[in-house]
Amino acid sequence: MVLQVRGVVLPEREERSFWIDGDRLRAGTAPDADRVVDGGWLLPGLVDAHTHPGTEDTETPFSDATLRRHLTEHRDAGVLLVRTPGSAARIPDWVDEDPELPRVRSAGRWLATPGRFFPGFGREVSEADVVRAAVEEATASSGWCKVIGDWKHDEPALPLEILTALVEAVHSIGGRVAVHCQTTEGCHNAVLAGVDSLEHGMHLDPDLIDRMADQGTALVPTLGVFGAAADRARAAEPSARRDWLLTGWDGMPPNVRAAHEAGVTILAGTDSFPCGTVTSEIEWLVRAGLPAEAALGAASWSARSYLGLPGLVDGAPADLVAYDTDPTRDAAALAHPSRIILRGRVVR
């Protein structure tokens, strides 16, 4: 049975018709097709650009069953592409072969130098070995690697010269580098090293934003998880770490807004559980000052483009989400897709 869809495509706001050829979209109409979407609004599948399916805490081992459950939660919310910037284990090959699961762009295992991550979680390597390890993880994954660039607020970040050498080595094989950073020094080193994505970016010096835009460094602020952490910190006893967290949080929304205005690519990522909640991160981006369309793009067409996939055009992957009303004007619609199509198959 050939499937047919018609609707107003975002972000172009043009009415288009497509028929589905296997797992690809074809422009136009096909005779005797089953029209599964006839009107409404069509989006490229939603994207969570910072999620860690497969394990929910540092005490629980990574498992295939948990990975499948998490990816299914994403899919059922219309999240049809995920990027996993670091994991306790490499994402297994069967994920890409399963037509029921979202497409995955993985970064292999977290890379952490001693003292800069949860003990025993991810892959711990020495500063002398981290460049080689980054190339290994990028080669074994979807071309990405993820490095913990800093950790505790009162301890030094991964040195700039090491991070610079790491970025150069990964870029030389066509890979990309994501870096966890939440301290001033960590953000500074990541931007100056020319990383591809800044994960979190708390305590980012706003003077670095123009450089991020010029060199193409994306910002994945994960506002929801840091906003929740700030709420917990306000209820905690006074401490240096509490002050550091609250000060950093106060600067995050203004920095996200300034980064968007400067032309930095903003990506929506949740970094939290349950999976399938990227629509809440869209709301956080709007609260930070992004226009509704830009915030939605950060979790759809802009994110897909950044990760190497097209929007809804002839020949594109047949991954789309349909809504009865314009989700840029009716935010509540995002939680209620009328149709979800993944790899050319109707999921909902």
What pLDDT does residue 89 have? 92
Q: Does 90 map to a domain?
A: yes
User: Contact at 8 Å (CB) between 44 and 303?
Assistant: no
* 163 in the same domain as 27: no
Give the CATH number of the domain where residue 124 resides.
Answer: 3.20.20.140
| Contacting residues for 331 by C-beta, under 8 A, at least 6 apart | 282, 283, 286, 292
SS3 string, the chain, reads CCEEEEEEECCCCEEEEEEEECCEEEECCCCCCEEEEEEEEEEECEEECCCCCCCCCCCCCCCHHHHHHHHHHHHHCCEEEEEECCCCCCCCCHHHHCCCCCEEEECCCEEECCCCCCCCCCEECCCCCHHHHHHHHHHHCCCEEEEECCCCCCCCCCCHHHHHHHHHHHHHCCCEEEEEECCHHHHHHHHHHCCCEEEECCCCCHHHHHHHHHHCCEEECCHHHHHHHHHHHHCCCCCHHHHHHHHHHHHHHHHHHHHHHHCCCECCCCCCCCCCCHHHHHHHHHHHCCCHHHHHHCCCHHHHHHCCCCCCCCCCECCEEEECCCCCCCHHHHHCCCEEEECCEECC
- What is the chain's alpha carbon radius of gyration, rounded to the nearest angstrom? 20
Six-digit token string for 221: 């602020």
Quote the pLDDT of residue 322.
Answer: 98
* Distance separating alpha carbons of residues 176 and 300, to the nearest angstrom: 20
Does residue 164 lie in a domain region? yes
Residue 318 maps to which CATH number?
2.30.40.10
| pLDDT for res 62 | 94
Give pLDDT, residue 179. Answer: 98
Amino acid found at 28: G
Residue 13 sits in the same domain as residue 68: no
Q: Do 81 and 206 sit in the same domain of this protein?
A: yes
Structure tokens at 277: 């909640």
- My answer on whether 32 and 107 are in the same domain is no
Domain membership flag for residue 305: no
What pLDDT is stored for residue 65 in this prediction?
Answer: 97
Q: Tell me, what's the pLDDT at 331?
A: 87
pLDDT tens digits, residue range 29-51? Answer: 999 899 999 999 999 999 999 99
Is 27 in the same domain as 124?
no
Q: Are residues 73 and 107 in the same domain?
A: yes
Q: Same structural domain for residues 142 and 281?
A: yes
Ranges of residues in the chain whose predicted pLDDT is under 70: none
| Residue 330 within any structural domain of the chain | yes
pLDDT at 74: 98
What residues make up the domain containing 23? 3-44+311-346
* 338, 214: one domain: no
Q: Which are the contacts of 47, defined by CB distance < 8 A and separation ≥ 6? A: 79, 80, 81, 82, 83, 267, 268, 278, 299, 300, 303, 304, 307
Domain count, the chain: 2
pLDDT score, position 208: 98
- Whether 261 and 335 share a structural domain: no
88 and 12 in one domain? Answer: no
Query: Is 304 inside any structural domain?
Result: no
- Domain assignment present for 129: yes
For residues 37 and 168, membership in a common domain is answered with no
pLDDT of residue 251: 98
Q: Are residues 95 and 28 in the same domain?
A: no
- Evaluate whether residue 286 is within a structural domain: yes
Tell me the backbone φ, ψ of residue 180, rounded to 5 degrees: -75, 125
| Half-sphere exposure for 42 (CA within 13 Å, toward CB) | 24
Residue 273 lies in a domain: yes
Q: How many CB atoms lie within 10 A of CB 276?
A: 22
